[in-house]
Structures are given as structure tokens and as C-alpha cells.
Amino acid sequence: MNKYASTLIKQIQLSPEIRIITEKIFAGERLSTEDALELYNSSNLALLGILAFEVKKKQSAQYVYFNRNFHIEPTNICINHCKFCSYRRRAGQKDAWECSIDEIIEKVKNHLKENVSEVHIVGGVHPDRNLYFYTDMLRAIKKVAPHLHIKAFTAVEIDQMCRMAGESYQKGLQLLKEAGLNSMPGGGAEIFDEKLRAEICPDKTSSSDWLKIHETAHNQGIPTNATILYGLKESYEHRIDHMERLRNLQDKTHGFNAFIPLKFKNYNNLFSHIKETTVIEDLKNYAVSRIFLDNIPHLKAYWPMIGKEVAQLSLSFGVDDLDGTIDDSTKIYSMAGSKEQNPNATTEELVNIIKAVNLTPVLRDTLYNPVKIY
């Protein structure tokens, strides 16, 4: 144990269980699920922040990352019936949309002037668009912007497009990669506990298939992210089970770049009667996630979801990535009542947010290669 850890433990009154966990963290030892539960049940938010920041420093020193990116959401028409969703529409319903490939290309061209490096593509699981529509879309994007990193499609979208085309996950991902797919986001994970998943998103891709799709992507050299939906009806045990499944897969494939906790928003959905989590709970969740997921290198705070102020606070609780500039190009959380109704951030704004808490901003590419250190 280093001198700082020894001093910390002596000065703070800790329960025997938390003291042991603290010693394990400073020694770089992996925490058990029981350890994670002790941390979740702790009321010492300041200590959790100190411990999470210690783990963050081992992963990324004083750096906090962001990139210049934009989103394309090809459609919000979706075959699934997730009860927490404020985004889904039926075909022909008010506020529904489905972009053609030509319309998507125009969106790409309009954003290129912003000197972006990544396009993030996710949307509803459309009933009539299979794998080959999306391979055509990827090729079209690469034709007009060959330098652009395409991070696209949740495992839920890939599941459906492969089923419609009669292709295996392996073949489907191979075709998508050949067409221009560079990496995958982590959406659609929600919560892996099968009983709770059946309650909140009954017809969505199963937990095992979500993990299988990401494992298949990793084995084909396609890096991905991972998410969790928290603050709905899950217990701490559910969150820990979810993260343990991710940690086990990461031990096997080393294919996850970042973990992104996604907060349940209660506007305009079937769970509107459930109160949203407090900022204290948000920060605790970031901290425990960072400490427990010792093999996933980055922890992201998605500021369009939690707002820039809370995102800045999260940098003291293990977070080392603020996503990107976004350029007012996503509606998923604005339709769910997010404070950021027109999500947009300049490079200067993100740099200032990071510097204000005495950390070092790093403009990155999608795979966390530094482009510029500020």
C-alpha cells in the first residue's frame, strides 16, 4: 500500500469491510461482487470518489477524453416495445421518421464542415430494413467520407438485421465490417437480469445474444462499448450481475473500449411514475462502475443524458471520457425529457469543463488515440 493510501485509511473512520476493500483497491486487486455490494451500500460518497479516482488514474492518469462527433438516427420506427422508451414510434405516427440513404448522406455532408472524426449511428429496429440496406448505407457514407470512423448499430439492431437477412451474427458482422463498419456502440444492453429484462423490454434481444454479438464482433476485430440502464427497477445486485457479465467477457476478448452508464429518464413513457435517481446516486454508480470494471479502460459520462454540470462532477468519480461535441444530432434523450434539449458542445467548452477540475483534456479519435492534448 502506498503512503497516500495508508494516510487515507488512518484518517477516515471505516468499517472493517470497507477498510479491507480500500486496501484491495490501492493494492490493485480485483473486487468481488460482495465487495461491490458493500460499496453500493456505503453512504461515504467522498470515499467512493477518492477510490474511483485512484482506479481512474491507473487507467488514464490525469487525462479526460472527448472527440468531435455527430449522430445519425436513421429511424425511430421500432418493432420492440420497451416500456422505458420515449423514442419509439410506429410507422405513420406523429414524430416518426425514417431517413433514406440519400437523406443520411446529406446529413453526413452537412456535418463534415465541423471537422468531425466519428459518426455514431443508432436508431429504432425498423421492421422492413435488413442487413443489406445497412451495408449499402455504410458504403455510401464511406464513399463521401472515407476518413470518417463509423461507430454504428447496437447489438439489438444487428440481431434483427441478421435475422431478416437469414445470416449468422458472424457473417452479418463480417459483411458490415467489409462495408465500412469500424466499431460498435454499447446500447441495447439495458439490464442483463433475465427476469427484469422480460419486464421492462419483453421483446428485445436477450442478454445472452447481446453478449454473443459483442463477443463475435470482438473476435472479428470490431471494438465495442458497453452500457447499462440504471435507475429503473433494478437492485444493486442487478447492476453488479450486469457488470460481472461484462467483466467476464472482457477477460476473454479485451474488446470493450468504454463502459457507459445510462440513466433512466421518466418523461413520456410507461414508467413515468418512477422517480429518477438523484445526482448522488448517479455519482455513486459512476464510482462503483469504475472500481469494479477493472479491465474496461474507459468510463464515459454521456453529457446529453445527465447534463454538463453533472458530467463535470463525474470527473471526480472515476469518469475519464465525456463523449463528444454531438452537434445537436441526437434526439434519444431529448425526447425523454433530458435537460439538454439541443445537445451541442464546442471543443472549447469541453476543454474548459475538464480544465476547471484540474484535469487534462485530450481530443481523441474513436479508439482513444490522442489527437491533441490541451
Mean pLDDT within 248-256: 98
Mean pLDDT within 37-55: 95
Q: Which residue's C-alpha cell is 467520407?
A: 145
> Looking at the predicted structure, is the pLDDT value of residue 353 above 80?
yes
**pLDDT score of 21:** 95
**pLDDT score of 90:** 75
> Looking at the predicted structure, is the pLDDT value of residue 4 above 70?
no
> Looking at the predicted structure, is the pLDDT value of residue 356 above 90?
yes
Tens of pLDDT, residues 68-125: 998 899 888 887 777 777 766 777 777 777 889 999 999 999 888 778 999 999 988 8
**pLDDT score of 337:** 43
For residue 291, which of 2, 32, 9, 20 has the smallest C-alpha distance? 32
Model confidence at 38, pLDDT cuts 50, 70, 90, reads very high
**pLDDT score of 339:** 52
**pLDDT score of 321:** 97
**pLDDT score of 329:** 43
Q: Range with the lowest mean pLDDT among 165-174, 178-187, 243-252, 326-335? A: 326-335
Tens of pLDDT, residues 336-349: 444 544 557 889 99
Mean pLDDT within 320-325: 92
**pLDDT score of 8:** 62
Tens of pLDDT, residues 260-276: 999 998 877 778 888 99
DSSP-derived pairing of the beta strands 224-230 and 149-152:
unpaired
**pLDDT score of 91:** 73
Q: What is the mean pLDDT of the chain?
A: 90
**pLDDT score of 9:** 62
Tens of pLDDT, residues 155-212: 999 999 999 999 999 999 999 999 999 999 999 999 999 999 999 999 899 999 999 9
Tens of pLDDT, residues 291-306: 999 999 999 999 888 8
> Looking at the predicted structure, is the pLDDT value of residue 241 above 60?
yes
Tens of pLDDT, residues 127-160: 889 999 999 999 999 999 999 999 999 999 999 9
CATH numbers and ranges of domains, the chain: 3-57 (no CATH), 64-373 (3.20.20.70)
**pLDDT score of 324:** 87
**pLDDT score of 236:** 98
**pLDDT score of 76:** 83
